[in-house]
Structures are given as structure tokens and as C-alpha cells.
Amino acid sequence: MSGAKRLLSGMRATGDGRLHIGNYEGALRNWVDLQDQGHQVFAMVADWHVLTTAEPGRNLAATSREIAKDFVAAGLDPERTVVFRQSDVKEHAELTLLFGMMTGIGKLERNPTYKDMVQDIGGAERATYGLLGYPVLQAADILLYRPYGVPVGRDQAPHLELGREIARTFNSRYGEVFPEFASIIPEDESRAKVPGLDADAEGRLRKMSKSYDNCIYLAESDEETAARIKSAFTTPSKMRKTDPGIPEGCAVCQMLRIYSPDWQNQWQEDRDGIRGCMQNKKELTEALNAHLRPFRERRAELTDERIEAILQDGASRARAVASETMDEVRRAMLLV
């Protein structure tokens, strides 16, 4: 990707707002790299998206600040990157409304992600208009900034296609307002897939997810990280140190591959029965805590007041771009 480009991506303000190492390796690390390459990154905290499934009473303002702290502590520079909260830029809602007028319900109902989410919440009778229209809001989030592309993992890239279809529909009806955006997939995805600390009923490692409660959070203490790793899933058949391990199916070994420079030797010793699971866990704990310590120190310095100021400044910069887009949209649709 040559030349400085405008890029947009975001994360939902789920749970208590803390991000885990899967969020970092799968997305946030790539955003920082793209920023450092000179691109203009718009990093959005997607709080409205949470309302599609969140129970009443969630403090989304506080949750958004916690995610923004992780953004900044991970290396996003508010001077170079626009860090903002979705709900602070009301143009997201206006463009979503207009896109909703040209998006077929059947297309939204056939969306595999919608079908999965309906099952997760207990059936279609509990699904809301907002849940059905989730992809329309996502399309507005992206197209409002008319970016060159969206940094995304390979497995998430297909979810962006409906946004491109909505842009094509708008352009065919009202003129070329929205450029085709690209999916910016990291060339090196070897670190992008961090397994969770557990496995499913068939013994297969699950992805790291807040909903599974199998995460290692970026902002946890050294002791909390050690406790989580201590309970992590390892090769079930390796009952003794001398039993052969299967590193490919061991959550601890998979994370050693990411965080330990000596992982190839560690894997071979595990496979040969030279080392045990406790040694793997001890060395992963040391390597991961060493890797996260600078992040945690930077995060501890970020007060709520400081991060709120960053979000408000980011919202102002985001609104400047968003308002230009909406002016053009209104003119194209003959609304003004």
C-alpha cells in the first residue's frame, strides 16, 4: 500500500471495556503499524453497536473510555490518529437512516452473522430492528469517512461486502459519492489468531473471546495473568512430563509461539517429552508479562479526564470529515 491513505476501523465497547491480547494481535497492533507507516487512521470506539445486544444499565461512556485507554496505551498516537467515540459523531446516525431506505430487508435477513446473533440471544422474537440493521450502521461507519480501506483480519473481510454493496447502490442512484474501499489485511498473519485459554467439547482450541471468558486482558496485573495461564488448556494426553505433547493443540504452546523467541525449541521439547506443562506455563507467564509491562505502565498514566479529552478532540476531527460527506450526500439526494 503506497502513499499515505485514510483508513477506518473500530471495536465494539463490549464487556467492561478492557481489550484482550486477541484484540491486540488480531487488529490493534496492525492499526499501530499502519499509523507508524504514515497513514491517517480513524480508530472508532463503536458504542452504538453494543446497543444491539446489550442489557439496559450498561455504562457505555465508562466502557468507551476503557477501550480508548487501551488504544492509546497500545501505541495509537492521538496527535496522528483520530481516536473517537461513535456516538459523539451524530452523522453516523443520519447516514445509517438514509442507507436504510435503500437496503432490502431480505438481504439483511439472509446475513449469516444476523442468523448467528439471533440464535445467541434466544430466537427471532428477541431480535431488534437495530440488530437486523447492524450491517447498515457498519456501512455508514465506514463510508462516512470515505476511506481508502478498512484494516481487518482475513476472517472478518467478508463481513464488509454488504457495505460495498450499499455504496454501489447509492452511487448508482445518486451519483459517485462513495469510493470503493479495500480490506487491509496484514501480510503477516502469524500472530493474528490467538487462541483462548480453553477448548470445546471435542478438545479443539476456541478463539479468545469475552463471551467465552477465556481471555488474557492487556491491562491485567502480572499476578492476574499468571493465574489465567495456570488454568490454560494443554495437551489432554500429556499427563506426565515425559509424555509427548501436541503443541498445535495446546493453548500455552500456541501463545509461546507468539511471545517467546525460543518457541521452536520449546515446542520440540514439549513434543519429545523433555519438558512439562508447568514449565511451559511458567515461561509463557514470564514472556507475556514482560511483553505487556510497557503497555500497562503507559495505561496506568491515562486518567479518565485525559482520555475523555482525547475522545472529544477526536470527535471534533471526525465530525469535520463526516459533515463534508453528509453535505455531499444531501446534495446528491436533492435534500438541499
pTM: 0.93
Q: Does residue 109 carry a pLDDT above 90?
A: no
pLDDT band at 110 (very low <50, low <70, confident <90, very high): confident
Nearest-angstrom CA–CA distance, 190 and 15: 27
Tell me which of 17-21, 118-122, 167-171, 285-289 is least confident: 118-122
Looking at residue 58, its pLDDT comes to 81
Q: Does residue 19 carry a pLDDT above 90?
A: yes
Nearest-angstrom CA–CA distance, 151 and 6: 11
Same domain, 153 and 45: yes
Residue 1 covered by a domain: no
As a whole number, the mean pLDDT across the chain is 93
Q: Does residue 316 carry a pLDDT above 80?
A: yes
Tell me which of 9-18, 83-92, 251-260, 302-311 is least confident: 9-18
Q: Does residue 57 carry a pLDDT above 80?
A: no
Give residue 229's domain range.
196-298
Show the cell assigned to 105.
Answer: 430487508
Looking at residue 38, its pLDDT comes to 97
Q: Which residues contact 211 (CB under 8 A, 6 or more apart)?
A: none
Same domain, 205 and 232: yes
Same domain, 165 and 39: yes
Same domain, 256 and 312: no
pLDDT band at 191 (very low <50, low <70, confident <90, very high): confident
Same domain, 30 and 140: yes
Give ∠ CA 77-83-86 in degrees, rounded to 5.
Answer: 170
Same domain, 61 and 105: yes
Same domain, 96 and 167: yes
Same domain, 179 and 231: no
Q: CATH number, domain at 161?
A: 3.40.50.620
Residue 242 covered by a domain: yes
Residue 248 covered by a domain: yes
Q: CATH number, domain at 264?
A: 1.10.240.10
Please compute the mean of the pLDDT values over residues 157-179 and round it to a whole number.
95
Residue identified by cell 430466537 is 123
Please compute the mean of the pLDDT values over residues 68-96 and round it to a whole number.
98
Q: Does residue 126 carry a pLDDT above 80?
A: no
Centroid of chain to Cα 108: 22
Q: Is 224 helix (H, G, I), strand (E, B) or coil?
A: helix
* Better-scored residue on pLDDT, 127 or 151: 151
Q: Does residue 331 carry a pLDDT above 90?
A: yes
Express each pLDDT in 201-213 by its tens digit.
Answer: 999 999 999 989 9
Please compute the mean of the pLDDT values over residues 74-90 and round it to a whole number.
98
Q: Does residue 269 carry a pLDDT above 90?
A: yes
311 within 8 A of 85, measured Cβ to Cβ: yes
Same domain, 64 and 165: yes
Give start and end residues of each alpha helix (H) in the chain.
Answer: 21-23, 29-36, 47-50, 60-73, 91-100, 105-109, 112-121, 129-132, 134-143, 161-174, 222-230, 251-259, 263-272, 277-300, 304-332
Same domain, 27 and 41: yes
Q: Does residue 103 carry a pLDDT above 80?
A: yes
Q: Does residue 121 carry a pLDDT above 70?
A: no
Same domain, 145 and 39: yes
Express each pLDDT in 216-240 by its tens digit.
Answer: 999 999 999 999 999 999 999 999 9
> Number of structural domains, the chain?
2
Looking at residue 158, its pLDDT comes to 85
Q: Does residue 188 carry a pLDDT above 80?
A: no
Same domain, 289 and 160: no
pLDDT band at 54 (very low <50, low <70, confident <90, very high): low
84 within 8 A of 45, measured Cβ to Cβ: yes
